[in-house]
Amino acid sequence: MTISPQQHSNSPERSSGNVELNGSALTFSGDWTLANYTILARLVEQVQRNNLSNVSLEVSQLGRVDTAGASLLVKLAGSTALVHALRVSDLGTEQTALITTVASAMEATEHPAPKSNPILAFLASTGEKVTAVARLAWLLAGFIGETLATLFYILPRPSRWRFTPFVAAVHDTGLNALPIVALLTFLVGAVVAFLGATVLQDFGATIYTVNLVAFSFLREFGVLLAAILLAGRTASSFTAHIGAMKVNEELDAIRTLGLNPVELLVVPKVLAMMVSLPVLTFVGMISGMIGGAVVCAITLEIPPSQYMAIVERDIGLTHFLVGIGKAPVFAFLIAVIGCLEGFKVSGSAQSVGEHTTSSVVQSIFMVILLDSIAALFFMEMGW
């Protein structure tokens, strides 16, 4: 059976395509182009009414083919059978590549991806997040090792010490942060004292408000509030500084000069943080206890002299040492995370902003996590 375009058009503008069905052979010939699309579409519809199962395709007689004609070929013959016929034919390379590309695109459209199982999707998403956290922990551990190796390398070599960046970082992270740390801890101390007095008043034990404020600030609030403030204020500054240098290719210039960016940029910042945070923690402890003393003096009529006498009598030195001992560890982690996120900047302003936010979130998370672990450890040890 032969179906030709002349049955539908008496005078085609150019040599139109043709399809011939002889027994179990389906032969394509002529030009399958957009100019003949209407005629070819009718031919395809007529041929599709016949049984086309187990037919062989012959495409070697095809002339010019464009995407419109190729889509009709795929619609009639099927993508798999058509691609197989193209492989065994001697059709031109350009026509073969075009028809194969259209067949692949139409096959992907005809067979959409099956709907995923919500449970499997949730498990896959959870696995990806766990993998990302593990990769982040691995990078952080490696960067901590590199920082410590560089630090131990330069400590016995005073000629490699960089005092100017260290002093500048201490001024930025410590002295400039002193007012905000003192103000915040003073206000939190006042709030803790007020809440403690409100609750303990029902039991006639308002005098223990002094113990509550002193105990909480010496062990937890002093170091925790100072560390969180530095995580938001200083870790972001470190990330933005190093990230901007990477965007401007200054880190590449440092390496070209034979210098170590970790020694030049990271070590002074880490040491400055380890000096500044213990000082800020001490200031936070004193300010929080002063805020509690003000509330006790105003609402509970406990004079400052009695307040200090209770602190001296009931609060041991161990609580102060526990709080101040956590400060260098928190400072080291905050500084390392801030610097690492700066080195991870990819080279755009958007990346600088994303990693700056990431450094703040990671620093605060690590500080609270380690503080929780330390609290459980010290409680079990009875310290």
Backbone angles phi, psi at 51, to 5 degrees: -80, 110
pTM across the whole model: 0.68
Contact 311, 210 (CB under 8 A): yes
| 69 contacts 34 by C-beta, under 8 angstroms | yes
In tens digits, the chain (383 residues) has pLDDT values of 444 444 444 434 446 777 777 767 777 878 888 887 888 888 878 777 776 667 777 777 778 888 887 888 788 777 777 777 777 777 777 778 888 888 888 776 655 556 677 888 888 889 999 998 899 899 999 999 999 999 999 888 888 888 898 999 899 888 888 999 999 999 999 999 999 888 888 888 888 888 899 999 998 899 999 999 999 888 899 999 898 888 888 888 988 888 888 888 899 999 999 999 999 999 999 999 999 999 988 888 888 899 899 988 888 888 899 999 999 999 999 999 999 998 888 877 888 888 889 899 999 999 999 999 998 888 888 77
User: Backbone phi, then psi, for 73, in 5-degree steps?
Assistant: -60, -45
Residue recorded with tokens 């969180």 = 228
Residue with tokens 């995407």: 67
Q: How far apart are CA 221 and CA 102, in angstroms?
A: 66
pLDDT at 8: 40
pLDDT given at position 113: 56
Hunting for tokens 């095809």 — which residue is that? 62
Largest CA distance in the chain: 114
Domain ranges within the chain, ordered by starting residue: 2-110, 135-381
pLDDT of residue 131: 93
pLDDT at 34: 81
Other C-beta atoms closer than 10 Å to the C-beta of 190 total 20
Core vs surface per residue 239-249: b (16+ CB within 10 A) or e:
bbbbbebbbee
Cα–Cα distance, 5 to 42 (Å, whole number): 9
C-beta neighbour count of 209 within 10 angstroms: 27
297, with CB counted inside 10 A (0-12, 13-18, 19+), is middle
What pLDDT is recorded for position 155? 87
Could you tell me the fold of the domain covering 2-110?
Answer: Transcription Regulator spoIIAA (3.30.750)
Distance separating alpha carbons of residues 25 and 306, to the nearest angstrom: 108
Helix then strand then coil, % of the chain, to nearest 5: 75, 5, 15
